[in-house]
Amino acid sequence: MKGTFPPAGSAHYIQGELIWVDHAERELHIRVDRNDSQPRAVWDLPLLLTMLPYGSIEYNGQPAALQDIPLGTHLHTWCYPKDPEDDRPPVARWHNRISPESDFR
């Protein structure tokens, strides 16, 4: 429901390397860590994340802004699936490939 917080416990834990940042739009790409649950075809494909307006970041144990985080940093994130009413097309930045995790924006 628009304008309400997501239910408690509905976030997904995703970790990976920061590879691209748009500070103004609060968007970032991460290369998700490999594990046995992923098919080999999607290894190393970027995952686009959009920070919530009330999202917070810590770097070295201190509050930080998105522009303070250097590329290549290993991130641990809690993400929510994309809103079903969000009609933005998925981003295909590298080699015109779209990640199957593009629902998490």
Whether residue 92 lies inside any domain: the answer is yes
Whether residue 5 lies inside any domain: the answer is no
For 18-68, how does the pLDDT look when each residue is reduced to its tens digit (9 = 90+)?
A: 999 988 888 899 998 888 777 777 778 888 888 888 889 999 999 999 899
Phi then psi for residue 37, to 5 deg, are -85, -5
- Assess contact for 20 and 93: CB atoms under 8 A: yes
Whether residue 2 lies inside any domain: the answer is no
Find all residues with CB under 8 Å of 87, minimum gap 6, and list them.
none
| Whole-number pLDDT of residue 59 | 92
CATH number at residue 61: 2.40.50
Question: Residue 91 belongs to what domain range?
Answer: 12-103
pLDDT band at 3 (very low <50, low <70, confident <90, very high): confident
- Name the pTM for this structure: 0.70
Sign of the Cα torsion 23, 27, 30, 35 reads: positive
d(CA 55, CA 52): 5
- Assess contact for 78 and 13: CB atoms under 8 A: yes
